[in-house]
A = this chain, B = another copy of it.
């Protein structure tokens, strides 16, 4: 089939914020312990950080990493995770029914961030704690010195402040599973007062208020409206979380997941703008999609994990080629909403529903979903153009009319380059791509075609075949504009 992409240089959605390619490290399962941190691993450095994991993370060029939760944060005391490691208390994490040794705390995370070249985004516990604990943590991290808390940080070995710029006002506080879950009014009031205290400390800090845990929550989207009514003055971003599943092994529906993400984002934008109108405000509320991914493979196995251990095997989804196609579509969705979505965190980074897997004492490798994320991070940071697709559709019982192509077009002015990301959702037909881009001075010239494709939708990478699913650079002299059936593609065009 054919797919024509219509674009114009003057129709721009926005400039993609590099923070769209952020990720998330929760104190959960083997994300930290046995993931990015493994004391006795032969590849670990003097701080116990796995250098092979650092390499894989650095390759993804992740600008920001959310920490330390997730549900974890809602029953965590930050004081437990600072100071001399052997004096830190061992706690029970009620969220994941795990033992929390607090060995890898705030300083360790900050040090790791520096090593991988990323910025921290810190979540505050608004489940069991309030204003005092939150402002104390912010002061501990960010105040230069001369106060009890900032001097405490210095005594813990961090002379310079951490200068953490983004702070999450709690996590998924709409979820009944959350320790210290709140109603929209309860949360909105608490977040407003915590946020106010933090802005009194430093008005330049950016705060994320909790939106809904997903669009199927019974309180969505009235939660958003109520929370924004309370927090409008202090919140800079509203969060969105969404995970996608293919329980019924229905590929056509699963591949259309980006339509659900599109709709979720757009509904939340509408709520934001409704509250803005009610507030007679000039402020635009931006979105932080700070948890998103495919997540369902590990659900059954997780029920069998014993309680109260460190580094449990939890949420260890082994991703298929099919999942990678979905992740590609979801990245497209984030890019085409870059006017409002400024932050997005692939959840999570290592082992726990993650692009990177490790074996204890063994190797690490990239899962299938690593690759669309890798290329989006590398070529997505430009001006996203507002495209129209001329492509056939299929009827889906869940999503209605679904175009066979999910595409996004990114313009890099400096490089004079146009990058077209296309997922061909068809399970049968090759797609001939043509790009009709108006307003550029010269003819476009295809300079590279990167393809992620496999005949087996359920194929995946593992320790023994870590590169089973991996992108290939196509020979563009032969079939330059063809996206094979069930494939993720990046077409790079030179303008000059």
Closest to A134 in B: B128
Query: What 0/1 readout, one digit per residue, does chain A (89-112) give for beta carbons within 8 Å of chain B?
Result: 111101101010000000000000
Q: A148 and B90: CB pair below 8 A?
A: yes
Given contacts A179-B131, A193-B180, contact A200 B97 (CB under 8 A): yes
Q: A139 and B92: CB pair below 8 A?
A: yes
Given contacts A147-B91, A201-B92, contact A130 B128 (CB under 8 A): yes
Closest to A181 in B: B193
> Within 8 Å of chain B (Cβ to Cβ): is A313?
no
Q: How far is the CB of A307 from chain B (nearest CB, A)?
A: 9
A466 to B308, CA, bound (A): 54
Q: B197 and A99: CB pair below 8 A?
A: no
24 A–B contacts from the bound complex (CB under 8 Å): A75-B131, A75-B135, A89-B147, A89-B148, A90-B151, A92-B139, A92-B147, A94-B135, A94-B197, A94-B200, A94-B201, A95-B200, A97-B200, A128-B131, A128-B197, A131-B180, A176-B196, A179-B196, A179-B197, A179-B200, A180-B193, A180-B197, A181-B193, A186-B189
- Chain B residues with Cβ under 8 A from A158's Cβ? none
> Within 8 Å of chain B (Cβ to Cβ): is A143?
yes
Q: A189 and B183: CB pair below 8 A?
A: yes
Q: A147 and B94: CB pair below 8 A?
A: no
> Within 8 Å of chain B (Cβ to Cβ): is A362?
no
Given contacts A94-B197, A193-B179, A193-B181, contact A132 B128 (CB under 8 A): yes
4 smallest beta-carbon distances between A and B, as pairs: A89-B148, A94-B200, A128-B131, A90-B147
- Among A91, A95, A151, max chain B CB count under 10 A is at A91
Q: B179 and A90: CB pair below 8 A?
A: no
- Chain B residues with Cβ under 8 A from A139's Cβ? 92
Q: B146 and A99: CB pair below 8 A?
A: yes
A138 to B226, CA, bound (A): 34
Q: A148 and B201: CB pair below 8 A?
A: no
Q: How large is the interface on A (under 10, 10 to 19, 20 to 34, 35 or more residues)?
A: 35 or more
- Chain B residues with Cβ under 8 A from A97's Cβ? 200
Q: B197 and A75: CB pair below 8 A?
A: yes
A77 to B99, CA, bound (A): 25
Query: What 0/1 readout, one digit per residue, does chain A (153-186) give for beta carbons within 8 Å of chain B?
Result: 0000000000000000000000010011101001
Q: How far is the CB of A117 from chain B (nearest CB, A)?
A: 31
Query: What 0/1 readout, one digit per residue, does chain A (185-200) give for beta carbons within 8 Å of chain B?
Result: 0100100010011001
A97 to B201, CA, bound (A): 7
Chain A 196-234 residues near chain B, CB threshold 8 A: 196-197, 200-201
Q: How far is the CB of A86 from chain B (nearest CB, A)?
A: 12
A128 to B131, CA, bound (A): 6
Our pick among B143, B189, B196 for the contact of A92 (Cβ within 8 Å) is B143
- Among A128, A149, A183, max chain B CB count under 10 A is at A128
- Chain B residues with Cβ under 8 A from A77's Cβ? 132
Given contacts A146-B308, A183-B189, 4 further A-B contacts (CB under 8 A): A75-B131, A90-B147, A90-B151, A129-B132
Q: How far is the CB of A129 from chain B (nearest CB, A)?
A: 8
- Chain B residues with Cβ under 8 A from A132's Cβ? 75, 77, 128-129
- Chain B residues with Cβ under 8 A from A183's Cβ? 189
A242 to B233, CA, bound (A): 26
Q: B148 and A91: CB pair below 8 A?
A: yes
Query: What 0/1 readout, one digit per residue, does chain A (110-130) give for beta carbons within 8 Å of chain B?
Result: 000000000000000001111
A143 to B197, CA, bound (A): 33
A196 to B149, CA, bound (A): 32
Closest to A88 in B: B148
A197 to B45, CA, bound (A): 37
A129 to B146, CA, bound (A): 24
A193 to B177, CA, bound (A): 10
Q: How far is the CB of A124 from chain B (nearest CB, A)?
A: 14
A127 to B143, CA, bound (A): 22
Closest to A233 in B: B176
